[in-house]
């Protein structure tokens, strides 16, 4: 049996169908039904956030965030993220301005943000890379100084805590992905989180075509999600903490096994509570990475070059700038398999194969 970089956690089938039957019996499967509203409430309680909207996916949530904040110009952003971060900016006819990343945490380098600010800059859109936190305090200081909005792409950050609260509780808006590969998922889905009441009401309307009954307010989009997806979320949520613990044990088993000076890892600090959703390894060179990847695939083990390529090098971009740290890291990083159904023996085997290649 092959081992993929991740694997969807599925709750017991009868637990899912029990939730599903609630919607089935009512004949109400979309348009802000009972299960969607219950899931939103439970997620607000679980995460400790004030306002949360369940959306069709995390990418649409990013687009809504940009639209709701009336951003039409330049957005300072990271080149080290999934392509959805950049695509959302482009889709909203805004201009991404890439700022290179820190070689310590792979998040946007806050020391380089001010140098990229122009009269056209309206926002900072930063990613909590692999669920690890950006320099939130410094970003907020810069944003306050230049009157900029702050949006966080927290696609990987469900269950992560910083400063005694959810990592999703910072910035003007934070989005999260509930894609089937995530620690918490709804098969497909995502959410948008904010603290401001007026902004929340605007987001609520934009998510649903921009109108309420016969009253029209904004240019909206259909970003609602269904009762069928909410049923999955309600079934998965009780298992999140247990699955995070499983991942944590596997994460540190990898670290112990792969104790080699030619490998670089991202390890969460003591003051940060992590969800252990990913295990990225930075190799000495792209050549070594390719050899490791090939060896693993020969053994039916499929890691992922995540994130690759550096987004400032996307072929459809014009007039982009160099980001040497991001470009270097993206060529050398490989995410090894990590999910709750993986065994310790699997981790030992994968680790042994990696070490065999790099020490050859």
Average pLDDT for 18-46? 97
pLDDT tens, position by position, 311-322:
999 999 988 999
- pLDDT of res. 1: 84
- pLDDT of res. 37: 98
pLDDT tens, position by position, 233-290:
999 999 999 999 999 999 999 999 999 999 999 999 888 999 999 999 999 999 999 9
- Percentage above 70 pLDDT, the chain: 100
Q: Which residue has the higher pLDDT, 320 or 3?
A: 3
Task: Give every CB contact of residue 17 below 8 A, 6+ residues apart in sequence.
Answer: none
- pLDDT of res. 269: 84
Asked if residue 168 has pLDDT above 90, the reply is yes
- pLDDT of res. 271: 80
Asked if residue 350 has pLDDT above 90, the reply is yes
What's the pLDDT band for 101 if we cut at 50, 70, 90? Answer: very high
Asked if residue 159 has pLDDT above 90, the reply is yes
Asked if residue 358 has pLDDT above 90, the reply is yes
Asked if residue 50 has pLDDT above 90, the reply is yes
Show the beta-strand stretches assigned E in the chain: 3-4, 51-55, 74-77, 95-98, 121-127, 149-153, 161-162, 165-166, 173-177, 190-194, 211-212, 215-216, 264-265, 272-273, 279-282, 301-302, 333-336
Distance CA 210, CA 158 (A): 27
- pLDDT of res. 108: 98
Asked if residue 201 has pLDDT above 90, the reply is yes
pLDDT tens, position by position, 293-305:
999 999 999 999 9
Pairing assessment for the beta strands 211-212 and 215-216 based on DSSP bridges: antiparallel
- pLDDT of res. 270: 80
What number of other Cβ atoms are within 10 A of residue 171's Cβ?
26
pLDDT tens, position by position, 88-100:
999 999 999 999 9
Asked if residue 166 has pLDDT above 90, the reply is yes
- pLDDT of res. 51: 98
Main-chain dihedrals φ then ψ at residue 55, nearest 5 degrees: -120, 170
Domains and CATH numbers, the chain: 13-238 (3.40.640.10), 240-358 (3.90.1150.10)
Q: What is the pTM of this model?
A: 0.97
């Amino acid at each position: 049996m092959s081992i993929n970089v991740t694997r969807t956690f599925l709750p017991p089938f009868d637990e899912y169908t029990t939730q599903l039957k609630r919607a089935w019996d009512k004949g109400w499967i979309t348009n802000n039904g009972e299960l969607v509203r219950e899931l939103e409430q439970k997620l607000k309680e679980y995460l400790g956030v004030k306002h949360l909207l369940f959306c069709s996916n995390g990418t649409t949530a990013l687009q809504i965030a940009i639209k709701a904040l009336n951003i039409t110009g330049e957005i300072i952003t990271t080149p080290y993220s999934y392509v959805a971060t950049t695509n959302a900016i482009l889709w909203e006819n805004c201009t991404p301005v890439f700022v290179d990343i820190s070689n310590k945490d792979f998040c946007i380098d806050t020391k380089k943000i001010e140098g990229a600010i122009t009269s056209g800059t309206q926002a900072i859109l930063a990613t909590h890379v692999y669920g690890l936190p950006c320099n939130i305090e410094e970003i907020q200081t810069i944003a306050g100084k230049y009157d900029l909005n702050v949006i966080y792409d927290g696609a990987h950050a469900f269950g992560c805590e910083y400063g005694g609260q959810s990592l999703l509780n910072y910035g003007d808006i934070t989005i999260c992905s509930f894609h089937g590969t995530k620690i918490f998922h709804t098969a497909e889905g995502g959410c948008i989180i904010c603290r401001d009441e007026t902004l929340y009401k605007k987001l609520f309307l934009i998510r649903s075509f921009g109108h309420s009954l016969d009253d029209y307010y904004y240019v909206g989009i259909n970003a609602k999600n269904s009762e069928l997806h909410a049923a999955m979320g309600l079934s998965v949520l009780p298992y999140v903490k247990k699955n995070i613990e499983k991942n944590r044990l596997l994460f540190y088993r990898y670290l112990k096994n792969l104790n080699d000076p030619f490998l670089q890892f991202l390890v969460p600090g003591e003051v940060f509570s992590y969800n252990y959703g990913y295990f990225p390894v930075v190799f000495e060179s792209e050549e070594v990475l390719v050899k490791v990847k090939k060896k693993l695939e020969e053994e039916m083990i499929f890691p992922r070059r995540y994130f690759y390529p550096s987004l400032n090098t996307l072929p459809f971009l014009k007039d982009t700038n160099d980001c040497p740290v991001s470009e270097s890291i993206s060529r050398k990083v490989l995410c090894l398999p990590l999910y709750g159904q993986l065994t310790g023996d699997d981790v030992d085997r994968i680790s042994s194969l990696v070490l065999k290649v790099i020490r050859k």
